[in-house]
Amino acid sequence: MGLVDASELVALRLGIDRAARTPLATQIAEQLISRVASGVVAAGDRLPASSDLAEHLGVNVHTVRAAYAQLAADDVITMQRGSRAVVLGYDASAARSGRVGVPTFMIGVMVPHFSDYYAEFLQAVAESAEVEGWLPVICQTRQYEPKAVARHVDQLLSRGVDGVIAVHYETPDAAETTATLATAAEILPLVFVDSANLDFGSHIVVDRVAGSLEATRHLLDHGHRRVAYVSTPTGWSSGSELRRGYVRALHEAGLEPDPDLVVAAGDMSLGAGAKAAANLMQIHEPPSAIFCAGDILAWGALQQLRDMQLRVPEDVSLMGYGELPLSSLAGPPLSSTRLPARQLAELAVVTLRAAIDDGERKAVGPIQTTLTTRRSCGC
């Protein structure tokens, strides 16, 4: 592999700003580090010859050599006399060491995916970050898929962010992703919001057990005795915590949990919610009420129940969790347990500020949820 011809030089998409105060060599080095951190330039690739890159950018060859020397000092590349520089890869720890104590006033914010809930959260983060003078850099991790997380962490570190907020990281048994985040937490402040209980970073903790308890108890108060629970995917930390509240509510009502009434969704999607509802309604004694561990699952369940000619709430009552802003517009309007997106965002920024200032890990909370009752549960 290697970057040789003109088209590959263009593909690097490097540029310089002669009016900027940052030295040209540093501009080139920072851009190349970013390209390596993002995976556009991989370990084992060869960088263009100094003279070729200098001609492409319209700078003196000594400027490119100075940029390469910076990369070599950071162990990003290795140089040998008479041959082109070879990329070693991106070492986040080494790259960060030279920036300790030098703020960039940028923070990273990692979300599993984009949705109405995260739009509200990110809006509040942006407003709170503006007060701090921070620029938030938003990363969508595809439910914390290992390669996406590793790439985003490297890119954020290569840009020298002052800290990172990670929202809803729920799979602590995903060793590769957890290791990546643990490494990041050793290098800079990291705040988890409503995520798995990890032994690194600061945490904003939501009382999921209490939220699930209240939601299930409400369905039981409507007289239901066959209340089903559609869980988050197997392995997610929220699934077990919400189940604890669900089981506690059943025990309070003198009921024993029926394993047939507990179904784990394959993912957090409309289709997964529909499939779970279909499975539940086909068992020997189907439920008269369903509590879903996510509004997106409840929306899918609602559509499936309609397709099966079942009325909500007359035939089956329905309850969601983590209220989406549009849940009030469902037909019928969806009852749900509301996560306080704005409060969580503001606390995340405050906690990150404290972590940057004093370097201490903190656990904030537990933050309480709010039950919002509408017609889908029979209210």
pLDDT digits (tens, 9 = 90+) for 357-366: 988 889 998 9
Size of the chain, expressed as the number of residues it contains: 379
Q: Which two tokens stand for residue 218?
A: 């409400």
Report yes or no: 65 and 127 within 8 Å, Cβ to Cβ: no
Structure confidence at residue 10 (pLDDT):
63
Q: What is the pLDDT along the chain (379 residues), one digit of tens a residue?
A: 444 455 566 667 888 888 877 788 888 888 888 788 777 788 888 888 888 888 888 888 888 888 888 888 878 888 877 778 888 877 766 555 455 567 889 999 999 988 777 888 999 999 999 999 999 999 999 989 999 999 899 889 888 899 999 999 998 888 999 999 999 999 899 999 999 999 999 999 999 999 999 999 999 999 999 999 999 999 899 989 999 999 999 999 999 999 999 999 999 999 999 999 999 999 999 999 999 999 999 999 999 999 999 999 999 999 999 877 677 667 799 999 999 999 999 999 999 999 999 888 899 989 999 999 999 999 8
Q: Residues 6 or more apart from 233 whose CB is under 8 A from it?
A: 239, 264, 265, 266, 267, 268
Structure confidence at residue 47 (pLDDT):
86
The alpha carbon torsion through 69, 75, 76, 82 (nearest 10 deg) reads 50
Structure confidence at residue 46 (pLDDT):
84
Q: Convert the pLDDT of each residue in 172-202 to its tens digit.
A: 888 999 999 999 999 899 999 999 999 999 9
Where are the chain's structural domains?
6-90, 102-379
Q: Rg of the chain over CA atoms, in angstroms?
A: 25
Q: Report the C-alpha gap between 199 and 172 in whole angstroms.
A: 10
Report yes or no: 54 and 66 within 8 Å, Cβ to Cβ: no
Instruction: Give the right CATH number for 6-90 from 3.40.50.2300, 1.20.120.420, 3.10.150.10, 1.10.10.10.
Output: 1.10.10.10
Q: What's the pTM value of the predicted model, to 2 decimals?
A: 0.80
Q: Convert the pLDDT of each residue in 316-372 to its tens digit.
A: 999 999 877 677 667 799 999 999 999 999 999 999 999 999 888 899 989 999 999
Half-sphere exposure in the Cβ direction for 24 (13 Å, CA) = 16
Structure confidence at residue 99 (pLDDT):
52
Q: What is the DSSP letter of 40?
A: S
Backbone φ and ψ for 4, nearest 5 degrees, come out as -125, -60
Provide the CATH topology of domain 102-379.
Rossmann fold (3.40.50)
DSSP assignment of 201-242: SEEEEE-HHHHHHHHHHHHHHTT-S-EEEEESSTT-HHHHHH
Structure confidence at residue 86 (pLDDT):
85
Report yes or no: 162 and 134 within 8 Å, Cβ to Cβ: yes
Structure confidence at residue 4 (pLDDT):
43
Backbone φ and ψ for 163, nearest 5 degrees, come out as 180, 170
